[in-house]
Amino acid sequence: MLEILKNHIGKIVPLTDQEFGFVASLFTAKSYKKGQFLFQEGEHLSRHYFICKGLLKLVYTDSDAREHIVGFAMEDWWESDFEAFYTQQKTSMSLICLENTDVLYITLENYKKLCGTLPKIEHFFLEKAYFGFIAAQKRILSTLTSNTKERYYQLIERYPALVQRVPKSQLAAYLGVSRETLSRLSR
Amino acid sequence: MLEILKNHIGKIVPLTDQEFGFVASLFTAKSYKKGQFLFQEGEHLSRHYFICKGLLKLVYTDSDAREHIVGFAMEDWWESDFEAFYTQQKTSMSLICLENTDVLYITLENYKKLCGTLPKIEHFFLEKAYFGFIAAQKRILSTLTSNTKERYYQLIERYPALVQRVPKSQLAAYLGVSRETLSRLSR
DNA sequence: AACCAAGTGTGATATACATCACTCTATAAT
DNA sequence: ATTATAGAGTGATGTATATCACACTTGGTT
């Protein structure tokens, strides 16, 4: 699993073996089964997750117990409740496995140590943050400019592998429409 | 105007006078009148803007010539078409003054020089990027969980000063509803 | 073989919102 | 003083989507 992380980081900031040895020493591997929670709404959260294998959903559950999917995460993605992690508040969302999943996680303490020691890694996370922000802005723009059908086809185009692996009811919860409406789209 | 920037950065990473002198040498001041474009869809963009005074909208215009407001920017905010700036593609959006506006801008070249020289500043931008991402994610969640009326009141609660200064038709273009629907909300 | 749960499709009805058309007001321009 | 213009309110109507109810398929479990 560490090899996956090394390749992933190396695409943006190449690291020497020694540097990566330090990075690796700050991560912990863990596996989860389909249906398990990595964290749950209202908990304290001290981990940022890198997904080596598997598929997850980041979920907000509203007062009527409806699930809204803030995002999916699969191989080579980072995920967490970022506000809760970074500002050390209680989580407002849950991270749940849609498939059996292997992750590497880093604690906030180690994250700070890492960025303080290796500026290259801070640059790596900055780049990740920029592209996360850009992707979020595109999703907002998509809801402003497009109807449900268009948004669904944009999703297929943008993340074809994801759409194959996720039930349509879950895609509906991501797009913000009912599963019935999504089911009727192609007519 | 430089004093505003110094205070702004200093809230996250305190700088010595010498350090800030270097920062300041890489920014350029410029003023715009209400209605002017800082940049326009389809242009090349090499500047990242810090708003010292004024109010702007970041706009995407669709194929039917409808304006969709991706975001507003006012005092103490940073704005640009971030993807275009950072990856040096053509802009897909326009940045337009809603009031007379004073900005400080930094070019991509100077931005890279700055981050390469002063790791503290890279940390500053990382923090800005994180909070930008968190805010975008909250806006997405707001569209998933809430109806128009709720989203409008969330906007008022979150940015009361902004709502005072922006015409309701523009708020409608930000919320993604027609101005008529926004006008009928309170009934 | 029988049963159960998850995922999906679809009909009927209700509702939120868009759209078009018109009006009114306040402010700026002539 | 008169005329534009921007912003905002509102009535009538059409449409996209939510909601409720039920049926069907599939793969796993007893």
Nearby residues of B106 by Cβ (< 8 Å), 6 or more positions away: B26, B27, B28, B47, B48, B50, B114
Integer Cα distance of B59 and B96 in angstroms: 8
Q: Is residue A29 part of a domain?
A: yes
Q: Is residue B33 part of a domain?
A: yes
Integer Cα distance of B48 and B70 in angstroms: 16
A176 in reach of chain B (CB within 8 A): yes
Integer Cα distance of A68 and A171 in angstroms: 10
Query: Which of A141, A142, A148 should we substitute to test contact with B (largest number of B Cβ atoms within 10 Å)?
Result: A141
A112 in reach of chain B (CB within 8 A): no
Query: How buried is B103 (Cβ within 10 angstroms: 0-12 exposed, 13-18 middle, 19+ buried)?
Result: buried
Q: H-type helices in chain B, by residue range? A: 2-10, 17-25, 82-87, 108-117, 119-145, 148-158, 160-165, 168-175, 179-183
Q: Is residue B130 part of a domain?
A: yes
pLDDT digits (tens, 9 = 90+) for B36-78: 999 999 999 999 999 999 999 999 999 888 999 999 999 999 9
Q: Is residue B187 part of a domain?
A: no
List of chain B residues whose C-beta atoms are within 8 Å of the C-beta of residue A82: 130, 133-134, 137
User: Sign (positive/negative) of CA torsion A41, B129, A47, A100?
Assistant: positive
Stated pTM of the model: 0.94
pLDDT digits (tens, 9 = 90+) for A1-48: 899 999 999 999 999 999 999 999 999 999 999 999 999 999 999 999
Distances (CA, A) of B13 to A110, A116, B6, B121, B135: 20, 14, 10, 7, 21
pLDDT, residue B187, reads 57
Which range of residues forms the domain containing residue A44?
A: 2-117
DSSP string, A135-184: HHHHHHHHHHH--HHHHHHHHHHH-HHHHHHS-HHHHHHHHTS-HHHHHT
Are the C-beta atoms of residues A16 and A118 closer than 8 Å to each other? no
Footprint of strand C on the protein (CB under 7 A): A 167-170, 179-180, 182-184, 187; B 147-149, 176-178, 180-181
Q: Is residue B186 part of a domain?
A: no
User: Which tokens belong to A53?
Assistant: 């294998």
pLDDT tens for chain B, 187 residues long, are 899 999 999 999 999 999 999 999 999 999 999 999 999 999 999 999 999 999 999 999 998 889 999 999 999 999 999 999 999 999 999 999 999 999 999 999 999 999 999 999 999 999 999 999 999 999 999 999 999 999 999 999 999 999 999 999 999 999 999 999 999 997 5
Distances (CA, A) of A112 to A21, A69, B14, B17: 17, 29, 18, 26
CB contact under 8 A, A122 and B125: no
Integer Cα distance of A178 and A14 in angstroms: 44
Q: Is residue A151 part of a domain?
A: no
SS3 A98: coil
Across all strands, nucleotide nearest A147 (CA–C1')? D16
Q: How many domains does chain B have?
A: 1
Give the closest residue to B161 by CA, choosing from B41, B69, B76.
B76
Phi, psi of A144 (to 5 degrees): -75, -35
List of chain B residues whose C-beta atoms are within 8 Å of the C-beta of residue A62: 145
SS3 B171: helix
pLDDT digits (tens, 9 = 90+) for A106-155: 999 999 999 999 999 999 999 999 999 999 999 999 999 999 999 999 99
Q: Is residue A40 part of a domain?
A: yes
Q: Is residue B105 part of a domain?
A: yes
CATH number at residue A37: 2.60.120.10
List of chain A residues whose C-beta atoms are within 8 Å of the C-beta of residue B130: 82, 86, 129
